[in-house]
Amino acid sequence: MSVRRRNSVPTRTRFSFSTLRGFQQPELSKKLNQVIKNENAAIGAHEKASKERLSIATQLSDWGEWTEDDAVADITDKVGVLMAEIGEQEDTFAQYLEEYRIVLKQIRDTENSVQPSRDHRAKIADEIQKLKWKEPHSHKIDTLEQELVRAEAQSLVAEAQLTNVVCVDCPWPVWHRKC
* Residue at 3 is within a domain: no
**Residue 161 lies in domain:** 27-168
Find the largest Cα–Cα distance for the chain. 98
- Whether residue 80 lies inside any domain: the answer is yes
Give the pLDDT score at 111: 83
Q: What is the Cα–Cα distance from 129 to 25, expressed in whole angstroms?
A: 26
CATH number, domain of 102, equals 1.20.1270.60
Mean pLDDT by 10 residues, the chain (179 residues): 44 50 62 92 96 96 93 95 96 94 88 85 90 86 89 83 65 50
Number of domains within the chain: 1
Contact of 61 with 80, CB cutoff 8 Å: yes
pLDDT of residue 52: 97
Q: Is residue 20 situated within a structural domain?
A: no
Count of residues in the chain: 179
Q: Is the pTM of this model over 0.85?
A: no
Residue 179 included in any domain: no
| CA 106/CA 58 separation, integer angstroms | 39
- Among residues 144, 103, 106, the alpha carbon closest in space to that of 127 is found at 144
- φ, ψ for residue 26, nearest 5 deg: -70, 165
Q: What is the C-alpha separation between 128 and 141, in angstroms, rounded?
A: 6
Residue 173 lies in a domain: no
Give 176's DSSP letter: G
Contact 100, 108 (CB under 8 A): no
